[in-house]
A and B are shown apart, each in its own frame.
Chain A
Amino acid sequence: MKAAVIVFPGSNCDRDMAVALRAAGADVEMVWHKDAGLPRGIDLVAVPGGFSFGDYLRCGAIAAQSPVCRAVIDHVHKGGYALGVCNGFQVLTETGLLPGALMRNAGIRFVCKTVPLEVATTESDFTRSYAKGASLQIPVAHHDGNYFVDQPTLERLRVEDRIAFTYGDNPNGSTGDIAGVLSENRRVLGMMPHPERAVDAGHGGTDGRGLFDGLVGALVSA
């Protein structure tokens, strides 16, 4: 399985993402934001966390207009996989590849802690290796993680089983306790918590491994 990790000025979880993907068996290439295209044969594009372009204008808004994001949109439109974590989730909503928007946390403060996450659906290659309803311990670290969707969209996400993860104890005011959401074709996942920070027991937990193992396993056999 070949993965590309996009690097923007201000990305700071790009190397963690590469380490997590490599540990699961993926070949990983780092791709700079000014690159107009993705390397050949990429199965998965990972958009990492951080503060791309200093969060200017809105989190993810400038990154979403970068040349490489046009290539990411094409990749997804052709049926490719994409994973956006934290700032990467914000970027994917700004591109329109995922519904909704990430707003300032309801409690105003930056939240940095490990939180319980519930696996809301196993019907995706990102979540297939977990048990439905399983509780995971995954770190969050964000100021703008308050996921907003309007009521009709929330209803649609529920009916289409596109909510991937929910918070056990909502840390940011997200609509419907949503921590991660899938695209219509279930090949794009955006989530605020950081699974790539939970793949090594020495760093406090390994509950994030299942996401990378499941994904790499699915794409290797595909």
Chain B
Amino acid sequence: MKARVQVMLKTGVLDPQGEAIRHALGALGFDGVEGVRQGKVIELDLAETDAASAEAQVTEMCEKLLANTVIESYKIDLS
């Protein structure tokens, strides 16, 4: 299976990089961008074929390494 993990800063945590992107977009003339949040996407190729088990494994990976849950939230998509 493939897992796609999206890691974002939690709502309420200021994202300085997102703000810098927003300013740069404004400088390029893209008006009306009211907010930008930057995150990361991590794609995993898994040997696991059972979706429930894969989801449990990837959740553990997120909790232990892929996300820092003090400041980040994560979302897992399996395919």
Interface positions of A (Cβ within 8 A of B) = 57-58, 61, 65, 93-94, 99-101, 103-108, 146, 148-149, 173
Contacts and interface: CB of A to CB of B under 8 A. Distances in A.
B33 interface: no
16 contacts: A57-B65, A65-B64, A65-B65, A94-B68, A99-B70, A101-B70, A103-B9, A105-B16, A106-B14, A106-B16, A107-B16, A108-B16, A108-B20, A148-B70, A149-B70, A173-B16
A34 to B, nearest CB: 18
Contacts of B13: 103, 148
Closest 5 CB pairs of A and B: A101-B70, A101-B71, A104-B16, A108-B20, A106-B16
B57 interface: no
Contacts, number: 35
B3 interface: no
B16 A146 contact: yes
Contacts of A173: 14, 16
Nearest to A100: B70
Nearest to B17: A104
A57 B62 CA distance: 12
B11 to A, nearest CB: 12
B66 interface: yes
Nearest to B13: A148
Interface string B65-79: 110101100000000
Contacts of A61: 65, 68
Contacts of A100: 70
Contacts of B71: 101, 103, 148
Contacts of B66: 57
Contacts of B65: 57, 61, 65
A58 B64 CA distance: 13
Nearest to A64: B65
B14 A108 contact: no
Contacts of A94: 68
Interface string B32-57: 00000000000000000000000000
